[in-house]
Each structure stands twice: as C-alpha cells, then as structure tokens.
Amino acid sequence: MKLTFSPASPFARKVRIAAIETGLIDKIELTPAAVAPAQPNEEYSKITPLKKLPVLILDNGEVLLDSYVIVEYLDELAGGGKLIPTSGAERWRVKSDHSLTQGMLDSMLLCRYEGMVRPEPLRWKGWSDDHWNRAWAGMARFESKPEVLAAPFNIAQIGLVCVLGYADFRFADCGWRKAFPKLDAFYQKMMERPSVKVSVPPPA
C-alpha cells in the first residue's frame, strides 16, 4: 500500500501513528506529495479530486480517503479494536471525540491559510478569530475531560496529539501549554510512544 504523505500534514501524521501502532507501517510506502491552496496539482488531483493529504492507495489501485477512514481500515486489517472500541457507549464517545479533533484541525489549517498563505491585503480577522476560537474551545473541552486523556490509547487521543503537535508547529506562540496544563502533561506522556515521537513535524 502507498500513503500520500507530507511530514507537515497533521492528517498524514495521524495515519502514520496509527500504522505504527497497529504494526502495519512496514506494509505502507510513504509517498511524498505537496499540496497548497490556490496552487494546482493536476497529477495529484487525478488521485483524489479533493487534493488533500493523505490518501491510501491499495495494491489493487483503489484509493481510500480520508484520514479517519484509513485509520478505521488499518484497525480492521490489524484485527479490529486496536484504536477504535468495537462496541458500546465508549465506541461512540471515542468516535465523536475524534470528530472534534478533526474539526479542530480543519479550523487550525484555515487559520494557517488565512494568516500565512492568503495574500496579506485579503485577510479577514473575523474569520481567523472564529476558527482559532473553535480550536481553542476544543482544547478547553479536552482539558476538562481527564477521562479522555487517561483512556486506553485510541484514535481520539491520536487526533488530539496531532492537534497539539500542529499547534507547536504552526502556532508556537499560542500558549496552549500554559493555558491547558493537563493537555501539556498528556502530550508529554504521549511523546514517550515511538509512533508519536518519530512523527513530530519538522522545525517550521
């Protein structure tokens, strides 16, 4: 299998962590791809019309997206229940918490594009403030849920790792560690896992 990949993509990081944790990383070739807003990449758009990272290209040529579905697929390949509980209320809590991290990442990328990619005279503070508030309020939500941070390793925690790592990477001065000491402790603990440590984004 091939995974389209960039070390800067928090969504690609999520799948990489999941692939390591499920023991499948050796079956996956990381294939570099570069995408950016307002920049065509016709070659890559043929693979996925969304022009987003990552997608998983199966050996039969089928293309699987998005990052969450790829993680579900890897989890099933590995026997199931490794990163996503298979039943009960905990299953839905973990899936919903993961969706929250997904939306936080979407908002953080929109802030990144607004503040660093869009031509400066066209920036709208109301837009980036709104999206930053969503990400920040999401962090506050997780700070108030110690049971989520202490649960057995799962996809919601991976999502949260990718959120916090992306905050370090692109918004280094945002102050999340001071504002959210429980998330800080959580991230430090997660960084003891080789999958999390090896996938930290490169210096910005």
φ and ψ at 2, to 5 degrees?
-120, 140
Among 34, 69, 172, 179, indicate the residue that binds a copy of itself (CB under 8 A). 69
Q: Which residue number, 38 or 192, has a Cβ lying nearer to a copy of itself?
A: 38
> Can residue 146 be called a binding residue for a copy of itself (CB under 8 A)?
no
User: Least distance (Å) from a copy of itself to the CB of residue 10?
Assistant: 16
Length of the chain: 204
Min CB(202)–a copy of itself separation in Å: 25
Closest residue by Cα to residue 9 from 43, 28, 38, 32: 32
- Contacting residue, 31, 86, 129, 185, with a copy of itself by CB under 8 A: 129
Answer for which of 23, 31, 86, 99 binds a copy of itself (CB under 8 A) is 99
Q: How far is the CB of 80 from a copy of itself (least distance, A)?
A: 11
116 touches a copy of itself by CB under 8 A:
no
**Backbone phi and psi for residue 4, each to the nearest 5 degrees, phi listed first:** -70, 140
* Closest distance of CB 143 from a copy of itself, Å: 11
Residue 173 CA: distances (Å) to CA of 11, 62, 65, 115, 169: 22, 41, 32, 14, 10
Which residues, listed in sequence order, are joined to residue 36 by a DSSP beta bridge?
39
Handedness of CA 137, 139, 14, 114 (dihedral sign): positive
H helices present in the chain, as ranges: 10-21, 42-47, 67-77, 88-112, 125-143, 146-150, 155-170, 176-179, 181-190, 194-198
Binding to a copy of itself by residue 59, rule CB under 8 A? no
Footprint of a copy of itself on residues 21-40 (CB under 8 A)? 37-40
- Indicate the pairing of strand 2-5 with strand 56-57: antiparallel
Residue 130 touching a copy of itself (CB under 8 A): yes
By CB under 8 A, residue 203 contacts a copy of itself: no
Dihedral sign computed on CA atoms, order 43, 48, 53, 59:
negative
- Give the footprint of a copy of itself on this chain (CB under 8 A): 37-40, 45, 48-52, 62-66, 68-69, 72-73, 89, 92-93, 95-96, 99-100, 102-104, 106-107, 113, 118-119, 121-124, 126-127, 129-130, 133-134, 137-138, 140-141
